[in-house]
Amino acid sequence: MRRRSAHWSRRPRKRSKLPEHLGARHREVRRLAKLLRDARTREHEQAFVVEGPRVVAAALDRDATIEAVYYGVHADRAFVALDARMERAGIRRVVLKEGVLERVGTTVTPQPVLAVARMPTPDEGALAADGLVIVALGIADPGNLGTILRTAEAANVAAIVLGEGSVDAYNPKVVRASAGAIFGVQVLEAPAVQALDALGGQGRQRLAADPRSGPPYYEVDFCRPTAVVLGSEAHGLPPEIESHLDGHVMIPMAPPAESLNVAMAAAVLSFEACRQRAAGTAKP
């Protein structure tokens, strides 16, 4: 698919005051491309790319550690308030030459602002923190995982554990879909059985979301420490985790519907847990 040119405004703008204009062959630009496209590079460097002015601003709102910000031509003048925040924070600001964003970006219409951020340090103590824990297994769609992250932050979820088969949490599509929540929710990676055993050892009830078994979600006592396990719509949950669960939870649906999108299921369960805990009402 042909990419559109990066024009942030038809109005002529003054040339950027920032001194550096990097071309496609510059080592920093090559690094940007690798961080956007290669999970192993992200893991090795413990860094990833944030795309778009809104998500970059959201990262700042959540005190993310940003190494540098990269602007398309004139974008630093188009997003003056964001650039001022970067300057006050002492973050290095760089302008890319014409056409560079189209070459390194991952979207059809390239985002005018990119930033390289450090991966947040995982805190295993979050598994014992107050609030729901989500264990996500086989969530391969980046948009779904990003939406789960965004929902989890809004519903005050304590942590998300990514098990086997799930997409990299720092995939650029996940980061965009999270709308900054990747910096606001604890995300840990662990094998499913190991994670479930650890959560059970901390006294959490471990409930698998299932469209056909278990009590309705509104009858579950989410005031108890709880971990909800979500699987992919295509394959469900692996059978080997069944002996590491304490039960199931169901979201009733009107026929002929048989299942919900996994991100929507996460939203229903997360906000029910949030509602119950806010009200302080335990189920009998």
Listed residue (268, 264, 4, 59) closest to 141, CA to CA: 264
Tell me, what's the pLDDT at 102?
A: 87
* E strand map for the chain: 21-22, 47-51, 66-71, 92-96, 113-118, 133-136, 159-162, 186-189, 205-209, 226-230, 247-249
Locus of tokens 């042909």: 2
Which residues neighbour 53 within 8 Å (Cβ) at sequence distance 6 or greater?
75, 79, 82, 111, 112, 113
Tell me, what's the pLDDT at 107?
A: 75
Tell me, what's the pLDDT at 11?
A: 44
Tell me, what's the pLDDT at 259?
A: 81
Distance between CA atoms of residues 227 and 198, nearest Å: 11
Per the structure block, which two tokens stand in for 5? 């040119």
Chain centroid, CA 170 distance in Å: 7
Tell me, what's the pLDDT at 18?
A: 65
Average pLDDT over the chain, rounded to an integer: 90
Locus of tokens 């413990």: 46
The domains spanning 21-118 and 124-279 adopt the same CATH topology = no
Domain residues of the chain, as ranges?
21-118, 124-279
Could you read off the pLDDT tens digit of each residue along the chain, which spans 284 residues? 444 444 444 444 454 566 568 898 999 999 999 999 999 999 999 999 999 999 999 999 999 999 999 999 889 889 999 999 999 999 999 999 998 988 887 777 888 999 999 999 988 888 989 999 999 999 999 999 999 999 999 999 999 999 999 999 999 999 999 999 999 999 999 999 999 999 999 999 999 999 888 999 999 999 999 999 999 877 778 889 999 999 999 999 988 887 889 999 999 999 999 999 999 855 55
Tell me, what's the pLDDT at 280?
A: 83
Note the pTM of the prediction, 2 decimals.
Answer: 0.89
Tell me, what's the pLDDT at 282?
A: 52
Tell me, what's the pLDDT at 8?
A: 47
Pick 21-118's CATH classification: 3.40.50.1820, 3.10.20.30, 3.30.1330.30, 3.30.1360.30: 3.30.1330.30
Fold of the 124-279 domain: Alpha/beta knot (3.40.1280)
Cross-strand partners of 68: 92, 116
CB 56 within 8 A of CB 69: yes
